[in-house]
């Protein structure tokens, strides 16, 4: 159960008294599950178009879910309630074309965030049983060919050996090719501290490039962390390393990429 801040509850009462922005929205089930209708008031959307634009910007940034971003004067009033897609569709009055676009982007972003890759032979989606596995079996090809089809998670070529650590392809380094991006990326200054320009989310492994402003980062997977020290925020968005503009110890270049 999501416990909403007092400001959210006040917004719901205001919504029920004056349905001017989205007069077609409020339904019986919304009154029973109030977190579904609170988002537009908190975000002060001027109408369905602004809600659509907001969600599109989130999808463009790699998000696969939408959450309330209301944050009050204290950290305890951070909402972060998840918005279900059926409600977003209804509130934003999405067209069939927009719905298709949203669903495609959500699926693509989720696949990338969760470390899912396409089989190099049949292009079906495959995942690793353990995030350390290099030798991966495609269940679709194996079932169709009636024999195991395995490929290297790193170089994406067919697996040629009997081992689990070396695939037998001369061009394969035996490491996740993304590690080289972390190793060779530029060093930049973040709030006066020099650190790598690109980091992998400490929870899901998605790469995030720092552009400007503060050190606090919100990954599309929902994880919030410090770009400098890589320490994660707690459920109330409290950071161990201080405020957004507080200097902290620089975490070394990441040598492992987490995977959910």
Tell me the per-residue pLDDT of 51-78, one tens digit each, with 9 for 90 and over.
888 888 888 777 788 877 666 555 555 5
Q: Average pLDDT in the 79-106 region?
A: 86
Helix (H) or strand (E) run with residue 151 in it: strand 150-152
- Select the more confidently predicted residue: 53 or 152: 152
Question: What is the average per-residue pLDDT within 237-250?
Answer: 89
Q: What is the pLDDT of residue 32?
A: 45
Mean pLDDT for the chain?
79
| pLDDT at residue 66 in the model | 82
The answer, yes or no, to whether residue 109 has pLDDT greater than 60, is yes
pLDDT at residue 138 greater than cutoff 90: yes
- Residues forming CATH 2.20.25 domain(s) in the chain: 115-175
Residue 33 has pLDDT above 80, yes or no: no
What is the distance between the alpha carbons of residues 103 and 109, in angstroms, rounded to a whole number?
A: 10
User: What is the rounded average pLDDT of the residues 116-124?
Assistant: 90
Contact 253, 184 (CB under 8 A): no
Quick one: average pLDDT of 70-94? 71
115-175: which CATH number, 3.30.70, 3.40.50, 1.20.950, 2.20.25?
2.20.25
**What's the pLDDT at 5?**
47
């Amino acid at each position: 159960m999501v416990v909403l801040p007092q400001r959210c509850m006040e917004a719901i009462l205001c919504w029920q008294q004056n349905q001017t922005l989205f007069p077609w929205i409020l339904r019986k089930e919304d009154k029973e599950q109030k977190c579904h209708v609170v988002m537009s008031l908190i975000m002060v959307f001027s109408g369905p178009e602004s809600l659509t634009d907001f969600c599109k910007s989130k999808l463009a940034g790699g998000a696969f879910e939408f959450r309330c971003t209301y944050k009050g004067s204290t950290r305890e009033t951070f909402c972060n309630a998840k918005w279900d897609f059926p409600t977003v569709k209804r509130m934003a009055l999405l067209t069939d074309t927009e719905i298709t676009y949203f669903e495609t982007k959500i699926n693509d972003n989720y696949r990338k965030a969760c470390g899912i890759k396409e089989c190099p032979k049949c292009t079906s989606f495959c995942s690793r049983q353990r995030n350390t596995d290099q030798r991966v079996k495609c269940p679709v090809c194996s079932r169709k060919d009636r024999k195991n089809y395995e490929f290297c998670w790193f170089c994406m070529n067919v697996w040629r050996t009997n081992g689990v650590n070396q695939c037998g392809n001369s061009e394969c380094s035996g490491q996740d090719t993304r590690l080289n991006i972390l190793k060779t990326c530029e060093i930049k200054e973040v709030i006066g501290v020099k650190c790598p320009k690109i980091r992998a989310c400490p929870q899901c492994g998605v790469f995030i490039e720092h552009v400007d402003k503060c050190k606090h980062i919100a990954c599309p997977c929902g994880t919030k962390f410090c770009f400098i020290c890589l320490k994660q925020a707690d459920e109330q968005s409290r950071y161990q390393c201080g405020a957004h503009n507080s200097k902290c110890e620089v975490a070394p270049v990441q040598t492992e990429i987490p995977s959910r």
